[in-house]
Amino acid sequence: MNQIQEEFQDLITLTKKLLSEEHTSQDWIFTDKQTYQSMKEYALQAGKPKPKPKTPSTPQYSPPRRKTSVQIQRKAPPAKPTNLHEPQAIEKPREQVTHEIERQPIKDLKKENFQDLRKIMQEKHPEVTVVDKILDDQKAQELSQKWKARDPESNVILLSFDQDPNHLQFLRRLAQAIEDHHLPSKVIQIDHWDETLLKKSRLVIGVEKGISEDPRLKELFQESGQDGKHLLGSAPLILLQTIGQYLQDPKLKAPLWKAICEILQDG
């Protein structure tokens, strides 16, 4: 049966199913002569039993008989009956032998000398500092607990004077670092500046050129001639160079972070 016949047979089967669902066996359905003749021929062919396919007969092969040798096993003589009245020997359980391990005191370990390793480190990596004692972490513990005593309303303000995405990303990362170690921080666009933001500000960070060109900030700017510190109103102020310089030379970030930590720790 080819594919077309199979599809036609499936179509007939679905048609019969549809008719059986929509009509009973006593209903009459009007159709044309050609359709009636086709359905009649299909019904007659479907009623005939299909001949079973003939399977090719395979020749039967009988292997030659082999001579088999039969081995006769002789039966062992029956065991002699034991005298029930004779006493039987009882096996004694074996004693378990335990070996005790002698405990010896641990000898004092010799203090290793790492002078050779120290010499190699100094020659190959002179920038690495080798210490003999574990550093005291008291200062780190104090810093980790300092957040409990800080004012929750105080914060650090970072002023943004342009919409450059690289500059904004630098300020946001710096604000996140300050918030992780010290106080809540936020980046403020100069368009949203309000002098009331200085009331709870512990520190203001901004580009020097932007502050000097803005009349509102220039009026609040103060410079101390003795220690070289700057103020914006009453809040300490750190003046940045152009942000592009920090992006081009990452070494400038270390002194900036040091100045931020000194101001916030002193406060």
Mean pLDDT, rounded, for 158-184 = 89
Confidence of residue 97 (pLDDT cuts 50, 70, 90): low
Mean pLDDT, rounded, for 59-77 = 58
Note the CATH number of domain 150-266. Answer: 3.40.50
pLDDT of 72 reads 53
Two structure tokens written together for 20: 């059986």
Q: Count the neighbouring beta carbons within 10 Å of the beta carbon of residue 214.
A: 17
Say how many residues make up the chain: 267
Give CA–CA dist 129/121, Å, rounded: 9
**228-249, pLDDT tens digit by residue?**
788 888 888 888 888 899 899 9
Does 174 have pLDDT greater than 60?
Answer: yes
DSSP state of 254: H
Residue 206 CB partners (closer than 8 Å, separation 6+): 158, 159, 161, 217, 232, 237, 238, 239, 240
pLDDT of 152 reads 52
Mean pLDDT, rounded, for 97-123 = 75
Does 73 have pLDDT greater than 60?
Answer: no
Cα 72 to chain center, whole Å?
74
**187-224, pLDDT tens digit by residue?**
888 888 888 878 878 889 989 888 888 888 888 888 87
Residue 170 CB partners (closer than 8 Å, separation 6+): 243, 246, 247
Does 134 have pLDDT greater than 70?
Answer: yes
Of 63-67, 82-86, 111-115, 229-233, which gets the smallest average pLDDT?
A: 82-86
Of 4-13, 75-84, 135-144, 204-213, which gets the smallest average pLDDT?
A: 75-84
Mean pLDDT, rounded, for 138-142 = 75
**7-62, pLDDT tens digit by residue?**
888 888 888 788 777 777 677 777 778 877 877 777 777 666 666 666 656 556 56
Mean pLDDT, rounded, for 56-84 = 58
Mean pLDDT, rounded, for 82-105 = 65
pLDDT of 61 reads 55
Does 122 have pLDDT greater than 80?
Answer: yes
| Domain definitions of the chain by residue range | 150-266
Give CA–CA dist 161/214, Å, rounded: 10
pLDDT of 170 reads 92
Question: Which has more pLDDT, 178 or 146?
Answer: 178
Query: 53-63 burial by CB neighbour count: b if 16+ within 10 A, else e?
Result: eeeeeeeeeee
Contact 187, 158 (CB under 8 A): yes
pLDDT of 69 reads 52
Confidence of residue 113 (pLDDT cuts 50, 70, 90): confident
